Amino acid sequence: MRESRTVQRSLFDLYSPHKFGAFLGELSRVLDDHPEILPLLEEDFRAEGTQATGRKGLSVESTFRCMLLKQITGVSYEMLAFHLADSSSYRAFARLERDCRPGKSALSGNIRRLRPKTLQSVFQQLGNSAFEQGVMKTDCLRIDSTVVSSNIASPSDSKLLDDGIRVLSRLMAKSRDCTGIKLRLTDYRKRSKSLAARIFYGKKADKETLYPELTSLANRVLKQSDKAVEQVRRQGGEPTHLQSWIDQVVHYQALLERVVDQTKRRVLKGEKVPASQKIVSLFEPHTDIIIKGPREIEYGHKINLATDRNGLITALMIEKGNPTDVERFMPVVGAHQSLYGGVPETTIADGGYASVDNIEKGKALGIKRVGFHKKRGISLSAMGLKEKTLKKLRDFRAGVEGNISELKRAFGASKALWKGEDGFMSFVWASVISYNLTRLVRLNSG
């Protein structure tokens, strides 16, 4: 990793006359107006062992710009590497030196170093700048929520049990390569895969007999992995090179134990297991079960956000669990207030946020009009609105649906593709930053 900034020479500032080339040129100028975000990004690249890319490596600025390209275009790392090697517009925007042609692994490795906390700070810095310049219109805010899905398959207890058996068995099979210690074990992967498939496609009567067999198999693998960890510790001590393998085994053991427990409770005992106690993925265990009204179940994390008159996202919160909208109204208002030093004159939110308590707390902060799309038995006088004003605000609120749709459709926020909880949050913030920057370019272009 080189220095934070790449000094671009006009010789290489070659943008295509195509409208997307013009957009990239304008976006580059917007970023040049915000050099203050580079010191924020530098912190994530100061860790020892950062790899350079190509002959000279990617700068911090180039890494951030490559991240924006990926989110805006929605391409894979492989295709991004191709475009950066092939396109003068992409290379000019990314501020790549002539000999720098990053591959997909280098792009992925460097972009994934950007932490969610850092990207959130960049979002806040860009928002504050837009607010100070008068581009962000915060007199009236619209608030809504949506769900960003995790990158997982539709969960089932049989699939989760098979995943746990498969992963632990694979780790133990690789123990000789990872630790130098060969383990004597029975491989249950083929049997587990067969049982899981029979459960998935079988009738209810068949599942009742097959599930106990699969959970028994999982327990055998758990006991086997306990013995494997004991053997590795006994024969190899606990040098550093063994700890990574041990940590992985212990991690997946804990997850498989939770899956076995929820399977016994839900399937074998007929107990209703609360969503907060369920695990739906061994690879993305942070994933929440989200149920919004009568709609189908979603797996990921709920986000609450506010947008202004220009469609810019002023505040966003990535939630844990499945909190109701009504209890997240004030936290969103509070997040906006902490960022911009004040509250809007008017807020309009979906009916799910409606409550007299939220109106009273909002007005106590200084909001003059606290409106909701559906009244939910709340009078207009309590909201501080007239019927005609509420109708206009309802029309205004509808715009947030379009903002959310664009965020998900054009910037990838329908499903977070980066692994792990930090990866999930970084992906969401990357999408939001890309969305807001694109909005700023449109506003500058008129």
Please check whether residue 171 is in contact with residue 245, taking contact to mean a CB–CB distance below 8 angstroms. yes
The tens place of each residue's pLDDT in the chain, 446 residues long, gives 555 555 444 445 688 889 999 999 999 999 999 999 999 999 898 754 444 444 457 899 999 999 999 999 999 999 999 999 999 999 999 999 888 899 999 999 999 999 999 999 999 999 999 999 999 999 999 999 999 999 999 999 999 999 999 999 999 999 988 888 888 889 999 999 999 999 999 988 888 899 999 999 999 999 999 999 999 988 876 677 788 999 999 999 999 999 999 999 999 999 999 988 999 999 999 999 998 766 689 999 999 999 999 999 999 999 999 999 999 999 999 999 999 999 999 999 999 999 999 999 999 999 999 999 998 899 999 999 999 999 999 999 999 999 999 999 999 999 999 999 999 999 999 999 999 999 999 998 86
Q: How many CB atoms are located within 10 Å of the residue 293 CB? A: 5
Torsion of CA 233, 235, 241, 244, to 10 degrees: -30
CA distances from 133 to 64, 108, 125, 440 (A): 23, 34, 12, 11
- List the domain range (segments joined by +) for residue 228: 157-277
Task: Give the model's pLDDT for residue 130.
Answer: 96
Any idea which residue has 């903002």 for tokens?
Answer: 403
> Are 83 and 164 found together in one domain?
no
Residues 90 and 124 in one domain: no
Asked whether residue 102 falls in the same domain as residue 134, the answer is no
Instruction: Give me the pLDDT at residue 47, please.
Output: 59
272 and 393 together in one domain: no
pLDDT on residue 164:
97
Instruction: Tell whether 299 and 421 lie within a shared domain.
Output: yes
pLDDT at 46 (0 to 100): 77
Give the model's pLDDT for residue 52: 41
Q: Tell how far CA 142 is from the center of its chain.
A: 22
Of 277, 303, 319, the domain-final residue: 277
What per-residue confidence (pLDDT) applies to 50?
47
Q: Which pLDDT does position 3 carry in this prediction?
A: 54
- 328 and 265 both lie in a single domain: no
Q: How many domains does the chain have?
A: 3
The reply to whether 265 and 341 lie within a common domain is no
In this structure, the answer to whether residues 168 and 258 fall within a common structural domain is yes
Q: Give yes or no: residues 245 and 310 share one domain.
A: no
DSSP 188: -
**282 is a domain residue:** no
With respect to residue 136, please indicate whether it lies within any of the assigned structural domains.
yes
| DSSP-H helix ranges across 266-386 | 329-340, 356-365, 380-383
Q: Do 253 and 345 belong together in one domain? A: no
How much is the pLDDT for 5? 57
Which sign does the torsion angle of CA 82, 86, 87, 93 carry?
positive
Residue 437 inside a domain? The answer is no
> For residue 446, what pLDDT is reported?
66
Q: Is residue 284 part of a domain?
A: no
